[in-house]
Every structure is written in C-alpha cells, then in structure tokens.
Structure 1
Amino acid sequence: MTFPIWIDLGFIKLHPHTVFEALAYFVGFRVYLLTRSKDKLPLAQGIWVIVGAILGAAIGSKLLYWLEDPARTIENWNDYVYMMEGKTIVGGLLGGLIGVEWMKKRVGITRSTGDDMALPIILGMMIGRIGCFMTGLDDHTYGTATTWPIGVDFGDGIPRHPTQLYEIVFLLVLGVVLYRKKRQGAMPEGMVFQLFMTGYLLFRFTVDFIKPTPHPYLGLNNVQLACIAGLIYYGYLMSSRLRRPQHSHKEEL
C-alpha cells in the first residue's frame, strides 16, 4: 500500500484528504437536516446554530493547532502556509461549542440543540478520518512506532499505530450506543451531546499519548490540555444535572 492513496477517476486524481473532508461536511450537514427534531427548532434557527458551529470550529481548530508547538508557531507567525495548513478536531469541537452557545444567545434560543448534532458530527468525523488514514504521513494524524501486528507502514518503513482507524472504531461504537439511547428517549435533553463530548474527549486524551506530537506541557500535549478543560466543563454540567430535580434541568448543549 502506497500513501497517499489517491482517488483515481480516470481523467483526474483527487487527494483523499480533500475528498473525504468535503464529503464529511456534506454528509454530516445533510444528515443533520434530515434527522433534526423539527418540532424543537425552526429551520431558520437551526441554520444559525450551524453557522455558529462552523465559525467557532474554524477558529478553535486553528488556535489549538498553533498551541501544539508554541515555539515553532512564534517562529513561523508570518508564514501563511504554516499558520493556515493545520487544524485539530478537538479544537474544532470546543470552538464549535462556544460558537453555538454564543449564536444561541444572539438569536434567542433557550433550549438544547446538541442532541441533534451528535450523530451527524460522529458520522462526519468517521468519514474525515478515512481521508486522514489514506493521506498517510503528510496528515500527521498517525501514531507512534509499534510492534503490534496491526501497525501500518505509512511510507517511512516504520510500522505505526493507525490511530485514525482506532478513532473510527471508537466513534462507530459510541455512535451506536448514543443512537440507541436517543431512540429510547430516556435521557434528559442535551445529555446525548454531553455524553458524546465526554466520551470523545476521554478517548482523545488517552490516544494522544501514542501520538508523535510535542508534549511540552508537563508531559501532555495541546490536545490533551484542551480535553481536560472540556472534561471539567462537561463533568460540571452532568454533575449539576444529577443534583437538580428532573423538572428543573437547565437545557445546555
């Protein structure tokens, strides 16, 4: 297997990262429109929520990427290619969270909107990670060297943890569990999204120990610090929910 795995249409070859990233956004958005609870949120307000999520995700994914290696970022602050080429999913999720909450206040939405987003986001992330895997070394999403039989040589002769595939499997399992919980309708509004974020942040905090990225923050990297902040936030939300009577639960993303 040679990386990157180009998508050959006969008359043109397309880079897998570009194709699957575009497909992830398209499919995720379409699934959101098809599966959202239309009785809870008018379409116009739903579109504004999406706008807030996109803007927040774009900003958050860049900010967290720049914190991966602060010294290198300062050194290359005037290099447009370096500053714009990278992004992080965790930064995108947390930035999207902030963007959605800000937009909800701007347009007067008071109820939870996250449950409708959880499964489309999971599906989009799974599709996107296929592109990350097919890109190989250039994507910088692979893991450290391993002697495990499932190690993948992405082109440098070193078998590495295919952390992109680990993430796809994890998201598939998480998505199935949350889908069943949502269908049962037994959880308070907003809990599906909170469980998604908590589960994914825990996964990323763990798997990033086998990512060959700088870990300059007391043995942790930028993504792990963001995961800790997100877990503290969602831990507070869920513990507060458990302490309050069912009828008084505040509906949050």
Structure 2
Amino acid sequence: MIPVATAPWAHLPFDLLAWGLGTASTAAVYRWRLKDQVRPVAARVDGGYFLFLALGAIPGAWLAGSFNSLREHAPALSHSVAGALVGAIVGVEAYKALRGVKGSTGGIFVGSFSLGVAVGRLGCFFAGLPDDTYGAPTRLPWAVDLGDGVGRHPVQLYESASMALFLAVYLMGLARRRDWAMRCGFYVMCGWYGLQRFCWEFLKPYPRLIGPFNLFHLLCLGLVIYGWVYYRADRRRERRAQDRPLPVPGPDHQPV
C-alpha cells in the first residue's frame, strides 16, 4: 500500500492549471490544425450556441453530481464533469436542431476537455477522501492510502492516464490529418471518455442505481451511444456528399 499526502485545498491549484492549460491548448490546436475546420462551423452559429451550452453544462454538472452524492452516507451537494459533458451535449444538440445545423461543432473542445480531465483528476487524487472521488478498497500492490489506512484503487489516476492516452492518440491523428480526428474528434472523445469511465465506475463505492450500475454508469453508457451514433451519422453524411454529382457547366447547364 502506497501512502499519499493529501489536502482538501489541493483541488484548486490543479483546477486552475487544468483551465489554463485547456485554454492554451484550444488556441494552439486551432492555429495548428483546426482553423479551416472551425471557420465554417463558426459561420453557422451565433452567441446562442454558447448560451445553450452553458444552460446544459451547468445544471447538468450539479444535478448529476448532487443526485449521486445526496444518496451517500454523508449527503452533500456536488458537481460532476460527466454530468457537465452530458448536459452540454443536450444543450448544444437542442440549439443545432433549432438552427438546422448539421455535423460536429465540438472539435475545438476535444483537446481542452481531454487535457482538463487528465490534469483535473490529479487534483481529485491529491484532495483525498473529502473530494469523494476515491476508489473502492483493494489489495493490489499499487493500492493507495489516502489517510484512513485503507488501500484503495487510485481511480482518479486511472482516468487521468486514460484521457492522457487519448489526447496523445488524438494529437497524432491531427498531425497526420486523419479524418476521424479532424472531423469527428468530439464524437470519438465522447465514446472513449464514456467507455473508460464506465469501467472505472465499478471500482468506486458510489450508491448503485440499477443492479450493479450507479448513475455515472448510465451517463457514460449514454456518451458511448451518442459518440457511436453521431460518428456513424457524420460518416454517412460525408459519403453522400462525396457521391453527389458535381455540377459541370454544359450546353444544357445540367449537373452530370
């Protein structure tokens, strides 16, 4: 068992670092690879896009986090990054439906979200037991003692490493201009984030909601389904666009 020095205030500096690095990464990735992808998206949306995003993300974060934490042995209000992501998706997809916007609009957020989770979960880890994100007891050799003498899964580090791995693969995809990264990176990220966290939720002592599943299992399953369905829909839309006949000027001015 590995003893870890923790402090409740440790969350704040990592949160600030995550926000700072996330903002910087957004600007860097935009200038490096996504400028041509983002400009057509920006032309189709207005300020309402960010309003709907916020109206989904903020209540989504607090509703999901509190619904889970209020059912624990020490009920308290809390917030959740998974709830924020699901809420933001609901808000943005509602906006897109009202405006008739098709295709992915979240590509610019992929790097910042992935990096933010990778760094932010370190804050959860070093904040210790008061953060209420600790793992279930285990006797594995890498079990950590967060101050109560109980060896636990370092689930925060599992998630941090998973998202750091995804970020590395995503950046390699951008470097090689892979279509999945350039066009559908947000959908792929949702699928990966949902899948890896779905697995780690089995290693957390959260109250169960349905059978062996807690609330976050269900939210993460929804993210996996969303990422897969929308990724496939985008690919079908792209294939139809490629198969569409090109208009070539002729004597009768008809497409051929």
Q: Normalising to structure 2: TM-score of the pair?
A: 0.78
28-37 or 175-184: which moved more?
Answer: 28-37
Structure 2: stretches of 5+ with no match in the other structure: 243-256
Alignment match, 2:92: 100
- Tell me which residue corresponds to 1:11: none
CA distance in 2, matches of 1:72, 1:131: 22
* Cα RMSD after superposing both structures: 3.0
* Equivalent in the alignment of 2:253: none
2:67 equivalent to 1:67: yes
Q: Counterpart amino acid of 2:25?
A: V
Equivalent position amino acid for 2:191 in 1: T
1:4 pairs with 2:1: no
Residue 209 of structure 1 corresponds to: 202
Match of 2:211 in 1: 218
Contact 1:113 1:190 in 2 (8 A): no
- For 2:84 and 2:60, the matched residues in 1 are separated by 5
Q: What is the CA-CA distance between 1:178 and the residue it aligns to?
A: 1.2
What are structure 1's unaligned runs of at least 5 residues?
A: 7-14, 77-81
Question: Which of 125, 137, 153 is 2:129 aligned to?
Answer: 137
- Among 28, 38, 43, the residue aligned to 1:34: 28
Residues 1:193 and 2:186 are matched in the alignment: yes
Task: Give yes or no for contact 2:53–2:92 (8 Å, CA) kept in 1.
Answer: yes
Cα offset, 1:222, TM superposition: 0.3
Matched residue, 2:120: 128
TM-score, reference length from structure 1: 0.79
SS of alignment partner, residue 149 of structure 2: coil
CA deviation after TM superposition for structure 1 residue 157, in Å: 0.2
Deviations 1:48-105 (Å, cap 9, x if unpaired)? Answer: 65554444222111111233266569x97xxxxx33xx11121111112223334556
Partner residue of 1:19?
Answer: 13
For the residue of structure 2 that corresponds to 1:67, the secondary structure is helix
> Structure 2 vs 1, CA of residues 53 and 19 (structure 1 numbering), >3 Å: closer, same or farther?
farther
Alignment match, 1:234: 227
**Partner Cα separation in structure 2 for residue 2 and residue 232 of structure 1:** 36
Separation in 2, partners of 1:140, 1:69 = 9
In 2 relative to 1, CA 130–52 (structure 1 residues): closer, same or farther, beyond 3 Å? Answer: farther
Quote the offset at 1:205 in angstroms: 0.8
In structure 2, the partner of 1:161 is 153
- What percentage of aligned pairs have identical amino acids? 29
Q: 3-state SS of the aligned residue for 2:225?
A: helix
2:246 alignment counterpart:
none
- Provide closer, same or farther for how the CA distance between residues 107 and 238 of structure 1 changes in structure 2, counting only shifts above 3 A: closer
SS in 1 for 2:179: coil
* Letter of the 2:15 counterpart: E
Note the C-alpha offset of 1:155.
Answer: 0.5
| Whole-angstrom CA distance in 2 between matches of 1:219 and 1:155 | 28
